[in-house]
Amino acid sequence: MIDQRRSPKISVVVPALNAEATIARCIESLLALEWPRDGLEIIVVDNGSTDRTREIVSEHDVRLVSESAIRSPAVPRNRGVREATGELIAFIDSDCEACPRWLEAACAHFADETVGAVSGRIDSDEPRTTLEHCVLRRGELSNARALHHSFMPAFLTANVVVQRSVFDRIGVFEPRWRCGEDIDLAWRMQADGGWRLVYEPASGVIHHHGPTLGALYRHRRAWAMGAELLEAKWPEKNGRGTKHVGKNLRCLALKAMLVLLAAPVGIVSPQLFWRQVSGVVARVADIAGRSAGRRAVRDLGVRPAAPDGSGSDLSR
């Protein structure tokens, strides 16, 4: 249990890959947090950037380490866990800014020893175009939504604080998974360790992602790939396997038809038009991601987890 009579030491882990456009704002927001500076450790883990990310990070009073053997979201986070010295380990993405009370609001929950992790709000920049508005309306990045997952509560690592003891007990993120590794860790935390996940809306970050159709495609493809990995490891999740293909093809055909119908009124109602276009892009990404996910399940040899959440040779 975290002793709330004092401020626990927190290690903030920021994975970064070619993040020169956003990493400075991220670090500056962390340095401005309402938390004792001597109780805050900021670790930026570079995952093989080829732009000015490392140079920009070096200009700030934070730790910079490198982990470039494998380019995967889990690998730099795992390196950050190994480097961290805090009782709590917080994760934020390099394209996010932390709100001043990010850690203060989350850490109050750790007075309860059954709480293993606290997730919070992931807000977005104000949309500037009709397309951005339509993409953001889809709510693709939401810890509130992840909390109500139909299988077990989950979290996204753009904003979560985890007890160090969780990693000591159940291991780290699946290093070769390109998506879904955060949800898998949340489920292992509950199934294997018996910890609870709490959502704290006052613990917020702002995500600067510049929503585009390309970004929507990449996110949805990765999400679908991760869903296949999760369903292979957690079969009791009631994965529907190949049934996804038929559903996505039917939805794609319907969305394509709606795009054609909406095209003539695109000038009068651009929001309707772009909503249908983004729907088509999302369905194409789902189909591609599911296919890639099935290949990944075979290539990685993903096996069903035991009832206690153990059983993967990648998670330790």
pTM of the model: 0.86
Compute and round to an integer the Cα radius of gyration of the chain: 20
**In 3D, which of 151, 191, 180 has the Cα closest to residue 311?**
191
- For residue 205, give the 3-state DSSP assignment: strand
**Level-2 CATH architecture, domain 11-211:** Alpha-Beta Complex (3.90)
Contact between residue 192 and residue 171 where contact means Cβ atoms under 8 Å apart: no
Determine which helix (DSSP H) or strand (DSSP E) holds 199, and give its type and residue range. Answer: strand 196-207
The domain ranges of the chain are: 11-211, 215-300
**In 3D, which of 102, 101, 100 has the Cα closest to residue 91?**
102
| Residue 189 confidence (pLDDT) | 97
| Residue 313 confidence (pLDDT) | 45
| Residue 87 confidence (pLDDT) | 97
Q: Which ranges of the chain have pLDDT less than 50?
A: 240-242, 252, 259, 265-268, 313-316
pLDDT tens digit sequence for 206-241: 998 666 778 888 888 999 999 999 999 999 875 544
